[in-house]
């Protein structure tokens, strides 16, 4: 989404962590959208470091589960609301399957599709078979709850670790998956640090 970004500097201090990005040129590709481009977050205030660190850890675990089996992941799909949400996750390094809820199907057909294709448990790590990631505003929260109940009714376990972390830690910065676009530069270095102990490449 962003291009021609250079001269990235990282400055660490005992009391605060600042990611400084000096941009030679920054172009936003926000085609087919009536919304203004998001403001790019290039730094983390000292009092937000703990929150961002917690979110980054949960991001790393979700990225590792989502990665294809051939890349040492669990091949666990992520279910999001729309295409822009999927695009935001790709910014953070999600390389596996991302399923889109808003594809012109009714909810019953989506539920049946997920059950038929992914079963009740992930066959690699025996964990939940789907990572459920709706927005965490009021509408998204209701949708998350409705989908969870319908999937659980089929004995499908859902992974909500990342969603719960976003609810607790990222409300001041936004309440939608799409809004995470603007925090990719600030969060990605922290996510990479959490991916290393998991034994996964840090190519994000």
Looking at residue 171, its pLDDT comes to 87
Looking at residue 122, its pLDDT comes to 97
Distance CA 46, CA 43 (A): 9
Residues of the chain with pLDDT under 70: 1-47, 198-204
Looking at residue 44, its pLDDT comes to 59
Kindly give the residue spans of alpha helices, DSSP state H, lying in the chain.
Answer: 49-66, 83-91, 107-118, 138-152, 161-169, 184-195
Query: In terms of pTM, does the model score above 0.85?
Result: no
Q: What is the CATH class of 47-198?
A: alpha beta
Q: What is the DSSP letter of 96?
A: S
**Mapped to the 3 state alphabet, what secondary structure does 24-81 carry?**
CCCEECCCCCCCCCCCCCCCCCHHHHHHHHHHHHHHHHHHHHHCCHHHCCCCCCEEEC
**Domain-by-domain residue ranges, the chain?**
47-198
Looking at residue 172, its pLDDT comes to 84
């Amino acid at each position: 989404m962003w291009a021609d970004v250079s001269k990235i500097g990282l400055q660490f201090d005992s009391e605060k962590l600042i990611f400084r990005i000096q941009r030679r040129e920054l172009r936003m590709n926000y085609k087919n959208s009536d919304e203004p481009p998001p403001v790019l977050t290039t730094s983390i205030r000292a009092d937000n470091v703990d929150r961002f660190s917690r979110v980054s850890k949960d991001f790393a675990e979700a990225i590792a589960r989502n990665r294809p089996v051939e890349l040492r992941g669990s091949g666990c799909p992520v279910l999001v609301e729309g295409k822009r949400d999927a695009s935001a996750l790709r910014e953070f390094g999600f390389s596996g399957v991302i399923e889109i809820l808003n594809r012109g199907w009714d909810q019953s057909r989506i539920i049946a599709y997920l059950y038929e294709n992914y079963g009740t448990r992930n066959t690699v790590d025996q964990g939940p078979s789907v990572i459920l990631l709706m927005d965490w505003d009021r509408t998204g929260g209701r949708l998350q709850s409705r989908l969870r109940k319908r999937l659980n009714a089929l004995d499908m376990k859902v992974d909500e670790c990342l969603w719960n972390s976003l609810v607790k830690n990222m409300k001041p910065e936004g309440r939608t998956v799409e809004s995470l676009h603007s925090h990719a530069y600030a969060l990605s270095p922290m996510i990479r640090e959490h991916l290393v102990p998991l034994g996964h490449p840090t190519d994000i």
